[in-house]
Amino acid sequence: MGTSKFLVGLLFLCFMSMEYCHVSVAASVHNEKKTYIVHMAKTQMPESFDDHTHWYDTSLKSVSESAEMLYTYENAIHGFATRLTEEEAESLRNQPGILYVLPEVKYELHTTRTPTFLGLDQNANLFPESGTASDVTVGVFDTGVWPESKSYDDTGMGPIPASWKGTCETGTNFTKSHCNRKLIGARYFAAGYEATLGPIDESKESKSPRDDDGHGTHTSSTAAGSLVPGASLLGYAPGSARGMANRARVAVYKVCWIGGCFSSDILAAMDKAIADNVDVMSLSLGGGTSDYYRDSVAIGAFSAMEKGILVSCSAGNAGPSTYSLSNLAPWITTVGAGTLDRDFPAFVSLGNGKNFSGVSLYKGDATLSKMLPFVYAGNASNATNGNLCMTGTLIPEMVKGKIVLCDRGINPRVQKGSVVKEAGGVGMILANTNANGEELVADAHLLPATAVGQMSGDVIKKYLFTESNPTATILFEGTKVGIEPSPVVAAFSSRGPNSITPEILKPDLIAPGVNILAGWTGAVGPTGLPEDTRRVEFNIVSGTSMSCPHVSGLAALIKGAHPDWSPAAIRSALMTTSYITYKNGQKLLDVATGKPSTPFDHGAGHVDPVAALDPGLVYDLTTDDYLGFLCALNYTPSQIYGVARRNFTCEKGKKYSISDFNYPSFSVALETEVLGGSNGGVSSGKPSVVKHTRTLTNVASSGGTYKVSISSTSPMVKISVEPATLVFTKVGEKKSYTVTFTAPSMPANTNEFGRIEWSDGKHIVGSPVAVSWI
């Protein structure tokens, strides 16, 4: 794949429903070098060494005279990154003090109206506008920043917090003057990338914190961008754009390049961000799933958590498949995506008088004012995949002057319109197939175009196949707000269950992630295509890449209001105040099915920042709790050291249980007990009884009496709570309770759901329940 095509493919990962690959950058030749991250047991450093970096270097030189360290890590892990052959890596694994020698992993990006939709505009007085709010710094790990964007205007901001230890790195097209009191830090990390893929081509992207892609500017301005009146994309979604924590500071860590985001660079960035004293880390990227002690982001996030830093990550865009989540560690806040109450309707009108609803962000210089000849791309091509409007597949003589229907799939949606335009077409209708169903994502196409769902697409195609002279036009309606129902869970949003630890419910919650307006780079057009010469200050993008920074910014808001709260307390506040029903009492819908969504889709529910500011009670967690969690997973001392960077031995005789881990949600994983039989056996019928213990901490300004209420989707699953009432008399007081789940034996892959809520009449502290037979 050419570099420019790779850039297009990478950029559109945040738009599309795609599985995020766990790509090991494996060498094709046995003795070829590749990048490894070496985890060292720093406490085992021999006394003959005064400095751990000298010890690292000596260990490395013992297996390779030529190898050099790409990075040394101080905070996220203890260790270094280097290039080795497989034989050298294996030899290093046998050296004293070496915990793990793990191969590099490539991660990919998971790629306004929102403050109003979340209730921030009407409740601005609830959130502090000065003082601690502007002392909070959000670190964003992405493609960098376009510092000229108005989203980084520092007008009215006070001095940079004295606690800030970061810097503004210089490089291609980036100087120290590009940072200010809003954008207080900017760094870039490319050593791992360049070691694998060669030097960065500075004619195509800046070897500096500058964002030539757009994704990083979009995510950082979503999290903490300044208020910008009069924002829009080509006139769509007009209004004021602002980040969730618009008074917070921004620090960017550029870890993603044209060829992807490499774990050695991400870990180096997390290492620096911890030292820089960020308060929140936001990572809209993923790299498949692996055990926590082998997951670089999870390991870096553990170190951040210990320093009081909340880490927010995108769940992934591989929905609606089950078990499709990334970033599963319980010390990471994992965010799925929902829709807003805003849409961009563009209707298809056929020559037979029938109309079909679609969406679009581009109507062209003049709206299509009359019926035009209409053709199916598959009938205007000699290629087997001509229906997909792939580059060079359309026959110009059959397309010129016509509207073309293209099927969605494989190549980027906006690229299909470019292909139609290049062949002489004047408009495009983009039809979903089985893979995308009825989910519609608006695009700033390069010609007048609209996207329709699968059912509409099938009817339109039937018209094309049966009508001798088919005609059509597209009617553009601009921007509409107040769309109901909203939110609905986006079909692309990755789903549970948790493939690593089924007893931890993920995602944690959902936030707006569809058609999000935020800042954009000046280096490329809104589509990211090379032929797109338009330049915009704001762009509308979709993906869990967009929902993650919403939660990152909201966490910064809560941190500003409650600077003493732990990351777990902040996440608990966001989760237990999330909602799962619309104002009419109906349950949140899943656009993939058209039916009510479940906790495997929406986690605890859709974020409600106003309620999260005053949650009443929180489920708090300490480092010791997380270490106990690792013990419950039966991790070995070296595996625990790999995550926690310390010697820790689980107490012999002590019962460690995930069911007692103080998480704000409940996931009960039951094994199906079967007895003999030629068809895989039949259920024994013996019921399972599982007990979970939780502890709530009072964070309200006064005491209160909380009573429990329980709901379940199945009468067969019995849920009881003891005690049913908790009385708090002072701030910081803790009270524990036990939940007993009694469930009959059921076939494998059966799921039932419920909810446990504590309320004192003012606060509602809600927890989702998922019971699964595996």
The full DSSP string for 39-63 is EE-GGG--TT-SSHHHHHHHHHHTT
Provide the b/e sequence for 457-471 (b: ≥16 CB within 10 Å): bebbbebbeeeeebb
How far, in Å, CA of 272 to CA of 141, rounded? 11
- Amino acid present at 207: K
- Known catalytic membership, residue 142: yes
How far, in Å, CA of 108 to CA of 314, rounded? 11
Write the CB contacts of 636 (distance below 8 Å, at least 6 apart in sequence): none
- Known catalytic membership, residue 215: yes
CB 753 within 8 A of CB 766: no
How far, in Å, CA of 151 to CA of 1, rounded? 34
How far, in Å, CA of 32 to CA of 691, rounded? 52
For residue 517, the SS3 value is strand
Name the E strands within 196-276: 228-233, 236-241, 249-254, 256-257, 260-262
Preceding peptide of 128 cis, ω within 30°: no
How far, in Å, CA of 157 to CA of 159, rounded? 7
- Known catalytic membership, residue 110: no
| Alpha-helical segments (H) within 277-326 | 296-306
For residue 19, the SS3 value is coil
Of 296, 545, 572, 688, which one is the catalytic site residue? Answer: 545
* CA-closest candidate to residue 568, choices 510, 621, 497: 621
* CA-closest candidate to residue 500, choices 322, 664, 291, 666: 291
First to last CA, the chain: 41
Write the CB contacts of 387 (distance below 8 Å, at least 6 apart in sequence): 376, 377, 378, 381, 406, 407
Of 39, 110, 215, 763, which one is the catalytic site residue? Answer: 215
Of 17, 64, 135, 142, which one is the catalytic site residue? Answer: 142
Residue 563 sits at φ, ψ, to 5 deg, of -60, -20
Please, what is the Cα angle at 508 between 506 and 514, to 5 degrees? Answer: 105
**Catalytic positions, written as ranges:** 142, 215, 545
